[in-house]
Amino acid sequence: ANRSQPLEERKVQSLPVIGRTAYNLLSIMPGVLSTQEQFGAGLYTGLHNWDENGKFVINGGLPGTNQFLLNGAPISLTGTWQISPSVDAVQELRVLTNNYDAQFGRTGGGTVNITLRSGGNAWHGSIFEYFHNPLFDYNGIRIAGNQSTHQFGGTLGGPLRKDQDFL
């Protein structure tokens, strides 16, 4: 038995995520606190992966003691994530906060496991355009240089060899 909070594909793709980075969803999970301290004036917008320090406090652990996994493989060096998949590629995002198995023993905090969508025998994909306008973020403080942003992207999956290899 373990204590974890999963977010399935439907929830991950339907929640509004600034920058379309899957790790932005961690802040809504119980027991998870983002340690990002600079917003706005420090030019942190959340639109890009490099805007974030990647450190979270999970279940009372110290920042930098968490483990990040992508399809079960470690992608964290110092308790921060090194690869950030788009929300369109995520099948499930799971945060293990307590009583996890010994296989997740490389952490003093929590474990975040992202499972990517797999391919299939039929070609499939999606495209998106994400428009961010700071006018809708207005909280009484105007930030110089804060401008509208358009992000375009997509996913593509299908067979390389039928029933054997998938993209």
- Alpha-carbon gap, residue 7 to 115, rounded angstroms: 10
Please report which confidence band the pLDDT of residue 61 belongs to, taking 50, 70 and 90 as the band edges: confident
For 52-101, give the DSSP string.
Answer: S---EEETTPPTT--EEEETTEE-BSSSSBS---BGGGEEEEEEEEES--
Place of tokens 């399935």: 8
Sign of the torsion angle spanned by Cα atoms 67, 5, 35, 20: positive
Per-residue pLDDT band at 102 (split at 50, 70, 90)? confident
Residue 17 has pLDDT above 80, yes or no: no
Please indicate whether residue 164 or residue 19 has the higher confidence score (pLDDT): 164
Higher-confidence position of 4 and 124: 124
The more confident residue out of 42 and 5 is: 5
Range 162-166 average pLDDT: 85
- For residue 113, pLDDT over 70 is answered with yes
